[in-house]
Amino acid sequence: METEQTSKLDYLLSRYNKPGPRYTSYPTAPVWPVVTDPSSYINQLKKLARSAGGPISVYLHIPFCEDRCLYCACNVSVRADHSVADRFLQHLETEIKLVADQLGFKPVVDSLHLGGGTPTYLSPEQIHRLMALLNHSFDINFLSGELSVEIDPVVTTNDHLDALSDEGFQRFSFGVQDFNPAVQEAVKRIQPFEDTYRQVSEARRRGAQSVNVDLIYGLPLQTAASFRETLKKTLLLDPDRLALFSYAHVPWIHKHQQVLDQYQRPEGLEKLSLLMDAKDFLESAGYRLIGMDHFAKPEDELSVALDEGRLRRNFMGYTTLQTETILAFGPSSIGFIGGEYVQNQKNLKQWETGLSEGRLPIEHAYQMTTDDRIRQRAIMDIMVQFAVFYDDFKRLTGETFTDYFREELAGMDDLEADGLITRFNDRLVVTDLGELFVRNVAMRFDRYLMGETGPRRFSQTV
């Protein structure tokens, strides 16, 4: 039986483990053209001002890290010298002011997320200054909004946690990845369990309402036994949520990852087994799988939102937030406004230069088409709830799923024969087995991948 399952998985990997998007957006970022003229973005801001619409989300990207973790795929500027932070805040102030000038009113912010890089690269005083900048231009909903921050326990101090909790942050996402010392040494991220445990406790002592832990499977030197140990230690932290990301080895994009080629790295079936073991382990510990790579306690809002059909996916993963507009600040940050994706200059210097010249420093913009919206609905339903219910789809898009995607559905015989999906009269369902290959199912609805022959832009789907 064991051998039968193994050869089935081997077969599926040989067919489906290929480069593909993670679908934190649709269309995905490589589709967005280079646009440095911010006039369309400015028009969207003016439209938002005229509508004085509902609450929005704000994302702030702090791009600095003291050192580089070798697996990292984030947009990072490695600076051991913190003197750059003040200049960064000055530019951020300019960017916030340029946006606020177009808005002319203080939008209510229901969600504020500090990401990076390392948000606590900023000193506690700089965190207060940053929040003063934001409070000046936005009406942050401290009562019922979500203020969340990514924490690197290696550089975060109790003073940082004090500053963050004083400023109303209640959601803390701790970057862990793996607790095994050999794995940590290989990826150059030394982070003893005891330090992380202490920080999580300190965050809770300051009233943290939600603790998330990020792990990565597929890192060099990971084994089934070592990763099981990491999971056991992680549960000692009693997280409300866990994110279990697949390591994306893309050294042709992130050159620093080439160093990791010297180590043995779980790939193919071995890597997939890490995910399957982790899923079994976490589910038997009472966590629920949320979408592709998140787990949550049953009482967590993510679980509740999944049951109530309110769960969504965006650049930060899975979320319960219903706000459509995201204003984003900082290099490489991605916003969404009026159906348009807007990404800032990824290069720190170019981002700064744009702001020094008094213009919004964007690098990519893309206005979604009607077809994009319809396909986005299908893809996000698959990525979030592993199913598309045709009645809901019709209600939300006005389109009959089986008519709109007649060709796509007809081309899915292989997925069904391989046991990854089932096509019913009223719904398309991703099977338990198909959940492991959910990106491949979603890809069938991606218009921009049809006939794709260009350079490799994505990581492997498993």
Residue ranges binding ligand SF4 (CB under 6 A): 65, 68-69, 72, 74, 76, 116-118, 152, 175
Please calculate the CA angle 264-249-343 and round it to the nearest 5 degrees: 160
Q: Considering the complex, state which of residue 64 and residue 341 has its C-beta at the smaller distance from ligand SF4.
A: 64
The answer for residues whose C-beta is within 8 angstroms of residue 164's C-beta and 6 or more apart is 120, 127, 149, 172, 206
How far CA 315 is from CA of 26, 220, 259, 318, 456, in Å, comes to 10, 26, 28, 8, 21
Least distance from C-beta 331 to ligand SF4, angstroms?
Answer: 13
> CB of 155: closest distance to ligand SF4 in angstroms?
8
- C-alpha torsion sign, points 107, 114, 317, 339: positive
Residues 375, 401 contacting (CB under 8 angstroms) = no
Q: Could you tell me the sign of the dihedral formed by the alpha carbons of 150, 155, 160, 162, in that order?
A: positive
Q: How far is the CB of 332 from ligand SF4 (least distance, A)?
A: 11
Tokens of 80: 């051991």
Looking at residue 413, its amino acid is: D
Give the CA count within 13 Å in the CB-facing half-sphere of 61. 25
- Give 42 or 182: the residue with its C-beta nearer to ligand SF4: 182
Closest to ligand SF4 by CB, 118 vs 314, is 118
Per-residue exposure over 338-357, b if at least 16 CB sit within 10 Å of its own CB, e if not: bebbbbbbebbeebbebbee
Which CB sits closer to ligand SF4, 152 or 352?
Answer: 152
DSSP of 197-261: HHHHHHHHHTT-SEEEEEEEES-TT--HHHHHHHHHHHHHT--SEEEEEEP---TTTSGGGGGGG
Measured from the CB of residue 76, what is the shortest distance to ligand SF4 in angstroms?
5
Q: Give me the least distance between CB of 239 and ligand SF4, in Å please.
A: 18
List strand residue ranges (DSSP E) for 155-202, in order: 171-177
Q: How far is the CB of 254 from ligand SF4 (least distance, A)?
A: 10
CB of 184 to ligand SF4, least distance (A): 12
Please, what is the minimum distance in Å from the beta carbon of residue 214 to ligand SF4? Answer: 9
414 Rama sector, left if φ>0, alpha if ψ -120 to 50, beta otherwise:
alpha
